């Protein structure tokens, strides 16, 4: 697979909601994602956004388009991950993936369980989608803005000690491993973890 190390980081944001996509109320998922990413990522990047209904075929088509055509390296979805009949985002995500990454979903539920016992009803997951010359990480996130920030950044107690690690700390290295651009973060918001052998020196001032 051709490396995309020198390419600009491209992030796809997908909000899955019948009512928001139908104009019943204003979508909150994409703005919440944009706000958190703007604070966390210090590497230049551009964003592709999509607001769609809870329709499996449309979700699958959107994820494929974002990876294969828009060339996103990371795609974050919000909404449609519960047990209700219309919640089909995880099924669509797994259907377009070539590798499952279950650890992301496991940690998301661990974070949410600090707040509500119904976190175990969430079916969030993550996959890698690979084509001949490109690959992307696709992750399902919660639908509420507060939960989005907690899931990505993790939880800290009143003294600033980490209670539960956020999932985004593992994302930059995952993007490295699938041939994407080198992503750096603001450690105050989310400190990216890489093994020492994968670290790059800071650019000269």
H or E segment to which residue 153 belongs: helix 145-153
Q: How confident is the model at residue 204 (pLDDT cuts 50, 70, 90)?
A: low
Q: Which tokens sit at 190?
A: 């989310």
9-198, superfamily in CATH?
MoaB/Mog-like domain (3.40.980.10)
Report pLDDT digits (tens) over 97-147: 999 999 999 999 999 998 889 999 999 999 999 999 999 999 999 989 999
> Is 80 exceeded by the pLDDT of residue 205?
no
Q: Which are the contacts of 151, defined by CB distance < 8 A and separation ≥ 6?
A: 108, 111, 112, 141, 142, 166, 167
For residue 60, how many other CB atoms are within 10 A of its CB?
Answer: 18
Please give the pLDDT value at position 6. 62
Q: Which tokens sit at 78?
A: 């919000």
Mean pLDDT across the stretch 2-30? 81
Mean pLDDT across the stretch 138-165? 87
Q: How far, in Å, CA of 70 to CA of 56, rounded? A: 20
Q: How far, in Å, CA of 58 to CA of 61, rounded? A: 5
Mean pLDDT, rounded, of the chain: 91
Name the residue with tokens 């790059």. Answer: 200
Exposed, middle or buried: residue 69 (CB in 10 Å: 0-12, 13-18, 19+)?
A: exposed
Q: Which tokens sit at 120?
A: 């175990």
Mean pLDDT across the stretch 157-163? 76
Report pLDDT digits (tens) over 28-79: 999 999 999 999 999 999 999 999 999 999 999 999 999 999 999 999 999 9
For residue 147, how many other CB atoms are within 10 A of its CB?
Answer: 20
Mean pLDDT across the stretch 1-5? 44
Give the global pTM: 0.92
């Amino acid at each position: 697979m051709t490396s995309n190390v020198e390419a600009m980081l491209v992030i796809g944001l997908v909000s899955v909601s019948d009512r928001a996509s139908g104009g019943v109320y204003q979508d909150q998922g994409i703005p919440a994602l944009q706000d958190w990413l703007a604070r966390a990522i210090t590497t230049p990047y551009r964003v592709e956004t999509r607001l769609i209904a809870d329709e499996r075929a449309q979700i699958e088509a959107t994820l494929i388009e974002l990876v294969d055509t828009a060339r996103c390296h990371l795609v974050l979805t919000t909404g449609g991950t519960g047990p209700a009949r219309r919640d089909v985002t995880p099924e669509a995500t797994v259907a377009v993936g070539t590798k499952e990454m279950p650890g992301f979903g496991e940690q998301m539920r661990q974070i949410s369980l600090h707040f509500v016992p119904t976190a175990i009803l969430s079916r969030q997951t993550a996959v890698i989608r690979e084509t001949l010359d490109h690959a992307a990480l696709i992750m399902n996130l919660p639908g509420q803005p507060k939960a989005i920030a907690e899931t990505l950044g993790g939880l800290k107690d009143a003294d600033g000690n980490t209670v539960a690690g956020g999932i985004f700390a593992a994302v930059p290295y995952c993007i490295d491993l699938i041939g994407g651009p080198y992503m750096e973060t603001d450690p105050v918001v989310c400190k990216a973890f890489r093994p020492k052998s994968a670290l790059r020196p800071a650019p000269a001032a």
